[in-house]
Amino acid sequence: MNFPSLFSPLKIGPFQLKHRLVMAPLTRMRAAKPSLAPRPLNVEYYAQRATPGGLIIAEASPVMVTGFGSPGVPGIYTEQQIAGWREVVDAVHANGGVILLQLWHVGRVSHSSFQPGGLLPVAPSAVAIPDLKTGTADGKAVPYETPRALETSEIPGVIDAYREAAKNALKAGFDGVEVHGANGYLIEQFLQSHTNLRIDQYGGSIENRTRFLMEVTKAVAEVWGADRVGVRLSPYGVANGSGEPDPMPLYTHAVQSLNPLGLAYLHFIEPRSSGAGRAEVNHQNVPSAMVLFRPIWKGVLITAGGFTGETAEAAIAAGHADAIAFGRIFISNPDLPRRLQRGYPLTPYNRATFYGGEEKGYTDYPAHDELEQA
């Protein structure tokens, strides 16, 4: 065993994991159309990556029809979607794995072509994403539109959509849920000062900007129990036009506010990884989210962002994190835990096949033994 810390047991909420190598939530845009329900291809993909006592965080799933910004991503607000996810969950459980669903609303990271009736996407404030293009529903590259600011009276309805999605995830048999508060999507748009210009109780002070995150997390925890709920944050992220000028005060308050809830875990994205399919981010001297916030967070800490077996082992051995989430190399190595544990070589990923399509670059990456036989 090359990595004793990475392959030591860990308790997360009620679950006793056998190793600390987590599959990160990864948007792959391969749900059935037009239902946006998971299909047999998705079942196969997750089953390939499930290990006894291993944690999978399933891809971000919009909690309501206005929460979409990409084609082919699975939702969690219809009976058909619940049924599709149930097949995925059953396959992961059959292989001994634990699986949580990431709950998503993209906010302004959308386009009117994805929205009911062709309306504008919603956001905390009418602030467009500058200098970036988005894709329309028919695949054209266009500038982001200026979103419509949510009315104060509409916000409880959005929080209710998260609550209903949490109930739907429960119906689908998931083991818990993760609240997506990272990567420039709706919750982070409420958190950050440049995207939240509100003057009601959801804007202005750090406490007010954190309110939406807290209300969503508490609503979801009412459904599941807090020990089956995780939250993902990206304090130093730059995805989808995000970025707080001084992240420490904001995210310190957010983490301190989440502490008393007794959540299953907090999940960070390290700033060296862009977190939204953009090219690699190799900042020099970027701060480490896990190192900065470890002293503040009282519970289990998962972190993600370009880790190798060696750097993951070092982070856990040093006590900076309790588990490491892997994304891109889990795509191309369905048996990633076994490969790292036994020192087998890793298959490189093909970025061109990350989003959309069928089996190619999705379920056709072989496990190590198959490679040897070939």
Residues 6+ apart with CB under 8 A from 269: 182, 183, 232, 233, 234, 237, 275, 289, 303, 304, 305
**Tokens, residue 96:** 């001994």
Which residue carries 């990409």 as its tokens? 70
- 77 as an active site residue: the answer is no
CA 359/CA 365 separation, integer angstroms: 9
* Strands 323-326 and 21-23, sheet pairing: parallel
CA 167/CA 177 separation, integer angstroms: 10
Residue among 186, 189, 73, 66 at smallest CA distance from 119: 66
DSSP state for residue 5 in the 8-state scheme: T
| Choice among 46, 144, 162, 185 that is catalytic | 185
CA 251/CA 272 separation, integer angstroms: 18
Outline where 186-335 has alpha helix (H): 186-191, 206-224, 247-258, 289-293, 309-317, 328-332
* Strands 176-180 and 21-23, sheet pairing: unpaired
Residue among 139, 132, 136, 102 at smallest CA distance from 121: 136
DSSP readout, 157-208? Answer: HHHHHHHHHHHHHHHTT-SEEEEE--TTSHHHHHHSTTT----STTSSSHHH
Catalytic residue list: 185
